[in-house]
Amino acid sequence: MIRRMLRRRGGLSNLTSTMILSSVLLSIMIRTTILANNMLNMQIAASEFQSAENLAITIESEINNLLYKPGSSKVIKTSFSATAPGYTETGETMNVTIGDLEPYSSDVNILNIEGRQFITGAPDYDLKGDSSLLLLPYKGSLGRIHVSKPHNMRVSLDYERVLCTFTGIVNMTNPDTAVYCPYNIIELTSVILTFGEFDAGDNAIILIQNETVEPEINHLTGNFSITVSTQEGSDSTHLTDLGGNPAFDTQVIFQRVYIKISVLGGG
């Protein structure tokens, strides 16, 4: 009787041990599977966000190609299966003051592409361009592409800056005196982003349109200043800083370029 009870207890002990071991192994397998899935999702999300960064670079490059071509457009074929395009109309303005002229104002709007939550990494850096308000001289990038993480990882494109170009001194006819004389020539360019339809999906196209270029020409004298200001601060330069001669009159061409971005054909 005692031997039979010992055998039964031994059998129960082995069964219990086997069940505990199986539970531990199952728990390890579940945790390993979850960890592997999380790592895979992070890798996929990082790859998708890198594609979003490259897309933002392409958009900025195409806008540069359209700057002085009113009525022209570009189409970019893409996919937004895991990233999401959008835009921010900030309600803020950028002001440009040229000498004693009435300041020019331009709306500040931002194109955004959001990534997924799985992405990690340093969330605050400029991918292209910088936060300068006054570009002297042009460095191949009028737009600023910035990576941040307000909620998810986000790559954004903004044009909160003015391109200032001193093109040299040329001989022109003074419109007031009809006398042929030397002029300093300065060109200022401000890009204003506007947005149309946004319907993103697995297959979509981004339509970029130069809706219009609005130039205004002014004549100034002396060593006047040019100041660009926003809610974040200001940046200034003078005619002589640009290489101009204050002994001559200056023709300043200020042009607003209106670029419209739409996302079409999602599906």
Instruction: Inform me whether the pLDDT recorded for 213 exceeds 70.
Output: yes
Positive or negative, the CA dihedral 120, 121, 124, 129 is negative
DSSP state of 54: H
Q: Which is more confidently placed, 65 or 82?
A: 65
Beta strands at 73-78 and 204-220: parallel, antiparallel or unpaired: antiparallel
Q: Which is more confidently placed, 115 or 58?
A: 58
How do the residues of the chain divide into helix, strand and coil, expressed in percent and rounded to 5? Answer: 25, 45, 30
DSSP state of 123: -
Beta strands at 144-148 and 134-135: parallel, antiparallel or unpaired: unpaired
Instruction: Inform me whether the pLDDT recorded for 2 exceeds 80.
Output: no
Domain extents for the chain? 39-264
Give mean pLDDT, residues 158-176. 90
Please give the model's pTM, rounded to 2 decimal places: 0.80
Give mean pLDDT, residues 218-239. 95
